Amino acid sequence: MCGIVGYTGDREAQELLLSSLKRLEYRGYDSAGIAIVSGEITIFKDKGNINNLSKQIPKMKGRTGIAHTRWATHGVPMKNNSHPFSDCTSRFALVHNGIIENYQEIKDELMKKGHIFSSETDSEVIVHLIEDFFKEIGDTEKAVRATVKRLEGSYAILLIEKESNRIFAIRNRSPLVIGLGDGENFIASDVPALLEHTSSVIYLQEGDIAEVTPERVLITDHDGNAMKREAQEIEWSLEDAEKGGYKHFMLKEIFEQPSAIQDSMRGRWVEPADRYNHRSLRSIKIVACGTSYHAGLTGKYILEEILKIPVTVEVASEYRYSPPIRENSTVILITQSGETADTIAAAVEARRRGGRTIAITNVVGSTITREVDEVIYTQAGPEMGVAATKTFTTQLVALYQLALRYGVESGRLDYDDAKEIERELRLIPRKVRAVLDSHEDIEKVAEFLRKAENMFFIGRNINYPTAMEGALKMKEISYIHAEGYPAGELKHGPLALLTSETPVLAIACRNATFEKMLGNIREVGARESPIIVVGFKKDRRILERYADRVIDIPETIPLLSPIPVSVALQLLSYYTADMRGAEIDRPRNLAKSVTVE
């Protein structure tokens, strides 16, 4: 899960690479490095973030180069383990995102041949293998092809060679995008690195090898066959990917949610002509990881409520290794980046098992879009903070709209009832704005939490997954140990952990479980734990009887309550983390897009 950038053209490469790399720092930040060609290859790298690199780096002349910011998978963060890596002859330099599963086998072979390695990483093996094949073949392109046929695992690779202005870009199960310019071309692991320079891009696909020079981009497969890849125009602006005056990207993205939700809803409303195309639908399986998994758990309640059919939810890394039971269901795969390794593998497996696959993702042209039968784009715009916010709420919007569509198409949901839910859904951006307008009140609640080291989030029914997502946000950015639990399970273990120093956040939106939820809150109060309750504003007087603090949200139908509740919990986590001095946009040990297993 690293950020990589390449450039070749008529401009000096150093500053361009560093500024582009900075836009990818959410993908990795424990070390960084740069390599530039000017007759010879010059490399400068070190542990630490890109600012640390920029302060030390000498002036490096040259108009072709590559750069890397790392999130460690092999080898601790240190200079020797930082990218780029060079071979023994210093003919090549390389950066890599992914994991080479058979690297130890290859490394042992190369060491017997006299290759000397300077790092503990799997990545360094690649450049030495290219060197070894080059000695045998005498042609860089053929050496690259021979190398990729030996590699097992996931990788996005950029390779440069001395006395050349070409860059080889190689993709296998890890994203790479080429930005097209006039007399110059760019390569990156994600679009934000390119936005300052171009909006015309080519997404490389599985097995692509691109030879990129200032004048051309030639894409072939592993055997050298030419591959046609169409350029696409990116609609995001550079401004979309900047902080825009907010202290952190995460806060900006939380406040972008009214417009992101509005954009996500466009063009997917149920129409009368949509009826009766899905009468055969009998079951649905949802597969996802992390925050997307919590969206999937919420989706289970949404789909079962509307469609009245069984819905199961599985973690992608478990599904792909589960017994290969024949799928007769529709499989929904949720991934914000479209590059989540386990979810992509699950999509391939679901199709192999005979399931009809639908992806919910935010990134046009991402890998998962080519592995499924149908794609629903959340249209949330770029999300730079590692912790998902607007991509989560727009995933929920996609699930609501999918459920309504399937409900009407299958005849399980009356058209007029669907339109009534849609009317409420159209009001959600306004209600999210109301939550955001109350940010100062939520900030005061964060002050109440800032010294906690452990806490629980509890909910029932559709807001049980919301509690899990709230706990995840709190733990990943504030480093408070937080657990999400179904409130009815408190007596089955968690009550043993409650003390006067263990805050409990309870979600109590009025629905069929409201009275039960109040009973669970009383259980918590009997253990003298500090209590924060999130509920509808109209119920504030009731909730104040049981809670130390109350967070109001605007009333909506219970089915839609997870969206405004989640926004309130995002703000609470953000302000708590900020008060604790945490690194909010780049939490320790985490990366934005999990492109390795």
Sequential pLDDT tens for the chain (597 residues): 578 999 999 999 999 999 998 888 766 667 899 999 998 999 999 888 888 888 899 999 999 999 998 866 666 778 888 899 999 999 999 999 888 989 999 999 999 999 999 999 999 999 999 999 999 999 999 999 999 999 998 899 999 999 899 999 999 878 899 999 999 999 998 888 898 899 999 999 989 999 999 999 999 999 999 999 999 998 777 767 677 678 999 999 999 999 899 888 876 777 665 454 555 778 999 999 999 999 999 999 999 999 999 999 999 999 988 887 777 789 999 999 898 889 999 999 999 999 899 999 988 778 899 899 999 999 888 888 889 999 999 999 999 999 999 999 888 999 999 999 999 999 999 999 999 999 999 999 999 999 999 999 999 999 999 999 999 999 999 999 999 999 988 788 887 888 888 999 999 999 999 999 899 899 888 888 899 999 999 999 998 998 999 999 999 999 999 999 999 999 999 999 999 999 999 888 776 666 555
Strand duo 185-188 + 232-233: pairing: unpaired
Cα(279)–Cα(505) distance, integer angstroms: 41
Q: Are residues 100 and 129 in the same domain?
A: yes
Based on the residue annotation, tell me whether 2 is a catalytic residue of this protein.
yes
Q: Are residues 413 and 550 in the same domain?
A: no
Secondary element (H or E) of residue 287: strand 284-288
Contact 300, 311 (CB under 8 A): yes
Q: Which residues of 102-121 are buried (b: 16+ CB within 10 A; e: fewer)?
A: ebeebbeebeeeebeeebeb
Cα(456)–Cα(458) distance, integer angstroms: 6
CA-nearest of 552, 506, 507, 553 to 529 is: 506
The CATH number linked to 247 is 3.40.50.10490
Containing structural domain, residue 97: 3-240
Cα(213)–Cα(84) distance, integer angstroms: 20
What local confidence, expressed as pLDDT, does residue 593 receive?
61
Contact 578, 325 (CB under 8 A): no
Residues β-bridged to residue 214: none
With tokens 């009973």, the residue in question is 519
Q: Residue 364: exposed, middle, or buried by beta-carbon count in 10 A (0-12, 13-18, 19+)?
A: middle
With tokens 């479980």, the residue in question is 513
For residue 460, give the 3-state DSSP assignment. Answer: coil
Q: Are residues 367 and 457 in the same domain?
A: no
Count of H-run helices and E-run strands, the chain: 18, 24
CA-nearest of 297, 289, 265 to 344 is: 289
Residues with Cβ within 8 Å of 563's Cβ and at least 6 positions away in sequence, in order, are 261, 393, 396, 397, 428, 431, 432
* Amino acid present at 478: S
Residues with Cβ within 8 Å of 274's Cβ and at least 6 positions away in sequence, in order, are 405, 408, 409
Cα(186)–Cα(206) distance, integer angstroms: 19
Contact 474, 576 (CB under 8 A): yes
Among 214, 240, 266, identify where a domain stops: 240
Q: Are residues 99 and 225 in the same domain?
A: yes
Cα separation values, 191 from 170, 556, 595, Å: 17, 36, 15
CA dihedral 397, 398, 401, 407 (to 10 degrees): -130
Q: Are residues 73 and 128 in the same domain?
A: yes
Alpha-carbon Rg for the chain, nearest whole angstrom, is 25
CA-nearest of 199, 103, 196, 55 to 596 is: 103
Among 397, 426, 455, identify where a domain stops: 426
Count of domains observed in the chain: 3
pTM: 0.75
Based on the residue annotation, tell me whether 592 is a catalytic residue of this protein.
yes
How many Cβ atoms from other residues are within 10 Å of residue 127's Cβ?
25
With tokens 């361009």, the residue in question is 16
Q: Are residues 56 and 195 in the same domain?
A: yes
Q: Are residues 134 and 247 in the same domain?
A: no
Chain centroid to Cα 96, Å, comes to: 19
Cα(33)–Cα(80) distance, integer angstroms: 11
Given the residues 45, 107, 252, 592, the one annotated as active site: 592
Inter-axis angle of helices 428-437 and 415-426, nearest 10: 30
Q: Are residues 568 and 579 in the same domain?
A: yes
What local confidence, expressed as pLDDT, does residue 1 receive?
57
How many Cβ atoms from other residues are within 10 Å of residue 540's Cβ?
14
What local confidence, expressed as pLDDT, does residue 50 receive?
84
Contact 47, 31 (CB under 8 A): yes
What local confidence, expressed as pLDDT, does residue 515 receive?
93
Given the residues 2, 47, 285, 475, the one annotated as active site: 2
Q: Are residues 322 and 199 in the same domain?
A: no
Cα(520)–Cα(547) distance, integer angstroms: 12
Q: Are residues 203 and 306 in the same domain?
A: no
What local confidence, expressed as pLDDT, does residue 74 receive?
65
Q: Are residues 340 and 387 in the same domain?
A: yes
The CATH number linked to 41 is 3.60.20.10
Residues β-bridged to residue 551: 534
Among 187, 216, 240, identify where a domain stops: 240
Q: How many residues does the chain have?
A: 597
Q: Are residues 407 and 432 in the same domain?
A: no
